[in-house]
Structure 1
Amino acid sequence: MPTPLELELEVDAATSSPRRLSLHPDRALPADGRQRAVAREIYGQTAELPLICMHGHVEAEVFAANQPFADPAQLLVVPDHYVTRMLVSQGIDPASLGVPRVDGGPVETDSRAIWRTFCRNWRLFRGTPSRYWMEHELAEVFGVDLVPSAETADAIYDQIEARIAEPGFRPLQLLDRFSIELISTTDSATSGLEHHAQLAGEGYGERIIPTFRPDAAVHLDRRGWRAEVAALAEVSGEDTSSYEGFLGALRERRRAFVEAGGLATDHGHLTADTTPMDRGAAARLYARALAGGQVSEQEAQAFAAHMLFVNAEMSCQDGLVMQIHPGVLRDHHRGTFERHGQDKGFDIPVAAEFTRSLRPVLERFGHDPRFRAILFTVDETVYSRELAPLAGAYPSLRLGAPWWFLDSPEGMRRFRETATETAGFYNTSGFVDDTRAFASIPARHDLFRRIDAGYLARLVLEHRLSLEEAVETAVDLAYTLPKTAYSRRSA
């Protein structure tokens, strides 16, 4: 039975008519009038720049199939863990939001019902970046001019459903509509990359590229690790029954990703530890784990740290840029993980440490022109203390954009204020979105460009930058830096 919160109507009390959705042209720009005027001018020079999306999670299969999106709920609600986690936090069952169950058990299949639940609870998103992204999507992408509510849910659903049925709203066509110049998918080490091969044959090989993510193969204590190693052997053609064969299989898969146009790797470890193991000790531990022997949590973490070091070494050989983003305890609620699987909104940040953890890999490769690593964090306490000083010293490092829970207006502002004075602008990666919600990509880039415009406007008014310098910097942050940060190194 619906709760009072779910039944709340977002309706004007005086007229009982639905409230209209309207995007203010100065949204997210500074409140101060003088600063806002300068920010508006800076933002105007970046608003229409192409998008470089190098940390994406839209599946390659979506582009290869290029089918119409199923419906508004399946496009905007079900796959977006930012949206579902907020609803779940208010006691709404993930199954009632259509989130699939691991065991194939029953979940809500009526997308209109899912959409109504979302619209009834629109007020939950006040003050969140999800509100900004969703309003941008509704107004700019789908032409909706109604505020979501129980009263307007069906009308909005019908309008979006009609729009996504148009030929111009298929995934490949949206690349042009969204002005996406380059987008990267994130693919496991065992991916056969067949969808990328198809896309390359259709002329998209340099526009939709894979990113190599070996996490499932390097964590010995992860469920399904032995099956992952077996799949790695099958797809690579290498014998993974030995540690040396395992390394050979990873090298072969990395080579396949490079041939498919890949520019980067992606590593989501719990910690940033890069301490290498003795090669013999690593081989013995690998053999014990593969034989089904007991592996302690400490041993598994040591092997994962060792494999970060090994992957850095491999990056010097093949030129792939490393993306490292530690500090997230995955699947915090075991029950949700058991029922619905990974990436369902229960990945929770923990304190991160980089200075000591990265020292082994930086002592070895930090000044090697063949090596490039981009560091992301959800622990903003390390921006000024560790990450900015590291990126401001080592030529191999770049500081990644505010990521995940920090991909928000205030998080972006704090990032600029805490990192820029030490790292500068040009030791950062510029903005790269991190989303499975395809339709939100333009909104995310737009928000970052507005926040950067506001920060740069303050530097202009404080006479620390000229307007010309501020505009040039804004363009670099939005477009030039992501391209140069992710360019393949000379191996």
Structure 2
Amino acid sequence: MPRAFLDDNFLLHSGTAERLFHEVAAHQPIIDYHTHLPPDEVASNKRWENISSLWLGEDHYKWRAMRANGIPESHITGTASPREKFQAWAETVPHTAGNPLFHWTHLELRRCFGIETLLNPDTAESIWHEANERLSEKDFCAHGILNRFQVDTVGTTDDPSDTLSHHEECASLGITTRIYPTFRPDKAVMVERPRMLNSFCDALEKRCDRKILSLPDLLEALRKRHDDFHAAGCRLSDHGMSYCPTEACSEKEASHIFERARTGEAANKDQADEFTAFIMQELGRWNTERNWTMQLHLAPVRNPNSRYFEKLGPDSGFDTIGDWPQGERLLLFLDLLDRSGALPKTILYNLNPRDNALFAAACGSFQEGPTPARIQWGSAWWYNDTLRGMADQIQTLASVGLLSRFVGMLTDSRSFLSYPRHEYFRRLLCNLIATDVENGELPDDRNFLDSLIRNICYENAKAYLAFPHHA
């Protein structure tokens, strides 16, 4: 007889799996160290008028699915009413069977709204009213959601030119969840795109109250913001790249490249790569000095649809998986930083799943005490954030590295409703470990298993990332 959809033992296929999840994993706090949550919405304790503004406003996963389902852009990012957009999503949901969106949607309805009805065109009206009624309740706000899911820590993603006033306000509120910035200086190396670089430098000038005309000016401004971020509790940097640069230019050449870019002259591809490597060495040294963690997100193709990029701009749901060769470049880059004393704790994320074993093995080439798993292969990212993708990441890491030292799941999300994804991961993790126990491949030792699950869900990230309130 088929099991009920999303029952209490969803994804748990043995008594061992049920015990590990319900008695151990489900009770662990959440350290969501890489998100795109807006810090101003936490500071203001954001409330939402309707479920569309909360659920659909910035969710690129849903936007892609709706486009694939033939929904017109007016009902995705356009001028259709919130109710019409919600109906369009309800029309799409039944077609997401097999996609994690189907599970995520119904987990979020259950865990956040207490709604167990399947979302489809016929139920959209009743769910719209029931969800919106729930939104009017006192605890349905940014702080309330973070409390409900036991979110211990949130790492936002912040440009060096961004204000940190919202993080400071969050710190002053005395809320249980700590909100820390993450240093994301990608625009500082865009010498091949002078318009974007110069817009960034102009904003950074205003933030630092100093002119940025030369390379020393840029480095001084970035270092000042690195200092400011550290004072605000930041302990991670984040860098998105197609691939890792392998050779740094000299300081003299970096100066020439930057100064030419400031006048509007674009660097060529080789110059841009060498400039990026030069800047990354500097950032790596600063991170190492302060025991920060460097995150490398590798191989996204940004804005491949030029027509929609011109119409909607970046981050509109059109980015996809790149197929640049990663292995040799990654190893040369890590070695470059390591030789110059600029390789901090590092988490690697690959977007192309063909690179799973490559990334897992590359970590082992640069491990060094006293930090356990100093170089981490991060959680299954973006297009890999599926049951299959997460299972592949967990099992490959267990085979090639130390799963027991893994810092675990993150949402990488812009939505406050994404926290059931941690439950999704934890259920899968418990089932995979339990399967090995049931097969006699791991001991049925309660202390051993409970410690393994607890560490992957919470304790490893707490020790490795070393946020101020965990010190």
The answer to whether TM tops 0.5 is: yes
| Structure 2 gaps, min length 5 | 369-373
Preserved contact between residue 285 and residue 342 of structure 2 (Cα < 8 Å)? no
Q: Aligned-pair distance for 1:389?
A: 4.1
1:334-413 equivalences in 2 (<5 Å): 334-351=306-323, 352-362=325-335, 364-365=337-338, 371-391=344-364, 393-395=366-368, 396-413=374-391
Distance 1:153 1:237, change over 3 A: same
What's the secondary structure of 1:357's corresponding residue? helix
Tell me the alpha carbon deviations over residues 365-394 of structure 1, each in whole angstroms, 9 at most, x when there is no partner: 389698211111112222213433424652
Distance 1:127 1:206, change over 3 A: closer
TM-score (ref. length: structure 2): 0.91
Please tell me whether residue 444 in structure 1 is matched to residue 421 in structure 2: yes
Residue 410 of structure 2 aligns with an amino acid whose one-letter code is: V
1:202-281 equivalences in 2 (<5 Å): 202-204=173-175, 207-222=178-193, 223-281=195-253
Tell me the alpha carbon deviations over residues 240-279 of structure 1, each in whole angstroms, 9 at most, x when there is no partner: 1110110111111111111111110110111122532211
Partner of 1:58: 37
Q: Aligned-pair distance for 1:450?
A: 1.0
Counterpart of 1:423 (choices 381, 398, 401) is: 401
Please tell me whether residue 186 in structure 1 is matched to residue 154 in structure 2: no
What's the secondary structure of 1:42's corresponding residue? helix
Please tell me whether residue 482 in structure 1 is matched to residue 465 in structure 2: no
Counterparts of 2:187 and 2:342 in 1: how far apart (Å)? Answer: 29
Partner of 2:129: 158
Residue 332 of structure 2 aligns with an amino acid whose one-letter code is: R
| Structure 1 gaps, min length 5 | 1-20, 31-35, 100-106
Partner of 1:286: 258
Partner of 1:29: 12
Counterparts of 1:274 and 1:61 in 2: how far apart (Å)? Answer: 37
Counterparts of 1:367 and 1:46 in 2: how far apart (Å)? Answer: 40
Partner of 1:17: none
Q: Aligned-pair distance for 1:237?
A: 3.0
TM-score (ref. length: structure 1): 0.88
What's the secondary structure of 1:199's corresponding residue? helix
Partner of 1:465: 442
Counterparts of 1:387 and 1:366 in 2: how far apart (Å)? Answer: 21
Q: Which moved more, 1:311-320 or 1:283-292?
A: 311-320
Counterparts of 2:405 and 2:259 in 1: how far apart (Å)? Answer: 40
Please tell me whether residue 113 in structure 1 is matched to residue 96 in structure 2: no
Partner of 1:299: 271
Counterparts of 1:178 and 1:53 in 2: how far apart (Å)? Answer: 11
1:318-337 equivalences in 2 (<5 Å): 318-337=290-309
Equivalent pairs counted in the alignment come to 455
Preserved contact between residue 47 and residue 449 of structure 1 (Cα < 8 Å)? yes
Preserved contact between residue 319 and residue 370 of structure 1 (Cα < 8 Å)? no
Preserved contact between residue 238 and residue 246 of structure 1 (Cα < 8 Å)? no
Q: Aligned-pair distance for 1:109?
A: 4.3
Partner of 2:49: 70
Distance 1:389 1:300, change over 3 A: closer
Distance 1:55 1:84, change over 3 A: same
Counterparts of 1:358 and 1:392 in 2: how far apart (Å)? Answer: 8
Instruction: Say what the alpha-carbon RMSD is for the aligned residues.
Output: 2.2
Residue 33 of structure 2 aligns with an amino acid whose one-letter code is: M
Q: Which moved more, 1:144-153 or 1:383-392?
A: 383-392
Residue 6 of structure 2 aligns with an amino acid whose one-letter code is: L
Distance 1:479 1:294, change over 3 A: closer
